[in-house]
Amino acid sequence: MKRPLPDARRDRIFHRDAHRCVYCGVSFPALELTVDHVEPRVKGGDASDGNLVTACRQCNTAKGGEAAWSYLARDPALRAGFLERAAHIWPRLRRAIIEAGTKAGSASR
Ligand SMILES: [Zn+2]
């Protein structure tokens, strides 16, 4: 069970991302949005702003408990859109996403 973030932080992240899901790029009212951890809490991700992005309910459900880089590695178009929109994430997370995408291109999985 995810511990809910304080409303003020949620609002700040939504505002920063212009109420737009960083995965599908669609804008939603705040009620339809969630705050997603790029690096999941279970994998050691924290609740710092650079690890948090705005995601619509549908994309957050599709991503589930996966790390963003592993979820994005399967879909180059999705990954490109994410990297364009999620400009505020920590550089090391950005690198992980780019690297996972490069590897996926040559992997057999
Ligand atoms: Zn979405």
Band of pLDDT at residue 103, cut at 50, 70 and 90: confident
Q: State the distance from the centre of ligand 1 to the C-alpha of 93, rounded, in angstroms.
A: 19
Distance (Å, whole) CA 16 – CA 87:
10
- Are 10 and 49 in contact by the 8 Å Cβ rule? The answer is no
Give the mean pLDDT of 16-26. Answer: 98
- State the average pLDDT over residues 83-104: 94
The 3-state secondary structure of 7-53 reads HHHHHHHHHHCCCECCCCCCECCHHHEEEEECCCHHHCCCCCHHHEE
| pLDDT tens track for 7-18 | 999 999 999 999
Distance from the alpha carbon of residue 72 to the mean position of ligand 1, in angstroms: 13
pLDDT of residue 107: 52
* Mean pLDDT of all residues belonging to the chain: 92
Q: Return the CATH class of domain 7-107.
A: mainly alpha
- For range 75-104, the mean pLDDT: 95
What is the whole-number distance in angstroms between the Cα of residue 16 and the centre of ligand 1? 16
- Predicted confidence at residue 109, as pLDDT, reads 46
Q: Tell me the CA–centroid distance for residue 27 and ligand 1, in Å.
A: 8
